[in-house]
Amino acid sequence: MTDITRLCNWIAGTNASILIKDETWIIPAVQSIHILAIAAVMASIAMLNLRLAGLIGREQSVQQMAHRFLPWTRRALPVLLVTGIIMITGEPARELLNRFFWAKMSMVVIVVSLTIPMQHLLEDKPFGALPVAKRGTLRALALISLALWLSIVFCGRWIAYA
Amino acid sequence: MTPTDLAAWLEARRFAVFIAQSDWLFPTIEFVHVAAIALVVGAIAMLDLRLLGVSRKDYGVQELAAQTLPWTWISFVVAIVTGSLMFSSAATRYIGFTPFRIKMLVLLAAGINMAIFHLTAYRKVHDWNHQLPPPNAARVAGTLSLCFWVLAVFCGRWIGFV
């Protein structure tokens, strides 16, 4: 038996896990909250990434857009984390023994890490005032980030099928 | 022809059978459905929160509507198409599911709410475009809209657990 299977068994034996499984409404309700938080993250990140890619809202500075949308991302991420932990506690094997879950987590790490070079490239200037090379790189990173978020949603859904 | 007859006819179409029998097609369609819903709910929430006078108060309602409605419509169409495809694959079962029926009623209610708002208060939007707090009609429409869409997400998830 692998370590991770042992971990799953241990989690499944805890009172919290048993409670979550017994109260059958908890997992669907928590999943729904998870989906609403995904909506908040996707909408805010999409707006910001599309702005970074120079595709929308060029009349506003990136900082204005970030100021407007990042609070939503910041509020939603802890909700995703907490609901995710509840789901893992209730059904540990479903997540922890699933390659789509691990693919999803890896992509979350990557997409969050991408914000570091993106912030470096960002200067609080209108998109058009940035040098062409930076605009190009930002555009590419923004599109990669969007693609990653979609893949994260994809893997999230496929956990149920793998 | 009863609804059940219609559902049985739909379920027997070749594309419906194909979806029902495929390993990967249903989950893939479902992923697109979830992504579309995330965008619809995100975009609608942005406008609803403005109708409530809670956020993006520096924007006029008309300007924000112009920005969000294209996304709302495109994602909504994608959600309807993907939803219909999934529905077809097991139509006779779905029409008997309580959460499915409730979800359809909720979406209908959301649509009626939007239509009433557009035909009444929104007609005179230039009068209250920048008014804070917005008129009661706008706040009621925004609140109802948010409630209906959140309820639709919960019902949608519940369908998966029947």
Q: Where are the domains of chain A?
A: 3-158
Q: Report the pLDDT value the prediction gives residue A20, as an integer from 0 to 100.
A: 94
3-state secondary structure of A123: coil
Q: Report the pLDDT value the prediction gives residue B83, as an integer from 0 to 100.
A: 96
Hey, are the CB atoms on A157 and B30 less than 8 Å from each other? yes
Q: Report the pLDDT value the prediction gives residue A98, as an integer from 0 to 100.
A: 94
Which residues have CB under 8 Å from A3's CB, separation 6+?
none
Q: Which residues of chain B have pLDDT under 70?
A: none
DSSP string, B62-130: HHHHHHHHHHHHHHHHHHHHHHHHHHHHTHHHHTT-HHHHHHHHHHHHHHHHHHHHHHTGGGGHHHHTT
Q: How far is CA B18 from the centre of its chain?
A: 26
Mutate which of B34, B47, B145, B159 to disrupt the A interface (most A C-beta within 10 Å)? B34
Q: Report the pLDDT value the prediction gives residue A120, as an integer from 0 to 100.
A: 75
Residue A62 has pLDDT above 80, yes or no: no
Q: Report the pLDDT value the prediction gives residue A36, as an integer from 0 to 100.
A: 92
Q: Return the percentage of chain A with pLDDT > 90, whole number.
A: 47
Rounded Cα–Cα distance for residues B77 and B37 (Å): 10
Binned at pLDDT 50, 70 and 90, residue A8 comes out as very high
Chain A: which residues have CB within 8 Å of chain B? 24, 27-29, 31-32, 35-36, 38-40, 42-44, 46, 68, 150, 153-154, 156-158, 160-161
Model confidence pLDDT, tens digit, residues A134-156:
888 888 888 898 899 889 989 99
Which chain B residues touch A104 with a CB distance below 8 Å? none
Provide the whole-model pTM: 0.83
Model confidence pLDDT, tens digit, residues A78-137:
999 999 999 999 999 999 999 999 999 999 999 888 877 877 777 666 667 788 888 888
Q: Report the pLDDT value the prediction gives residue A125, as an integer from 0 to 100.
A: 67
Model confidence pLDDT, tens digit, residues A42-55:
888 888 888 877 77
Hey, are the CB atoms on B31 and A153 less than 8 Å from each other? yes
Q: Return the percentage of chain A with pLDDT > 70, whole number.
A: 97
Q: Report the pLDDT value the prediction gives residue B81, as an integer from 0 to 100.
A: 95
Average pLDDT over residues A30-58: 85
Q: Report the pLDDT value the prediction gives residue A127, as an integer from 0 to 100.
A: 67
Q: Report the pLDDT value the prediction gives residue B131, as an integer from 0 to 100.
A: 86
Q: Report the pLDDT value the prediction gives residue B56, as an integer from 0 to 100.
A: 78
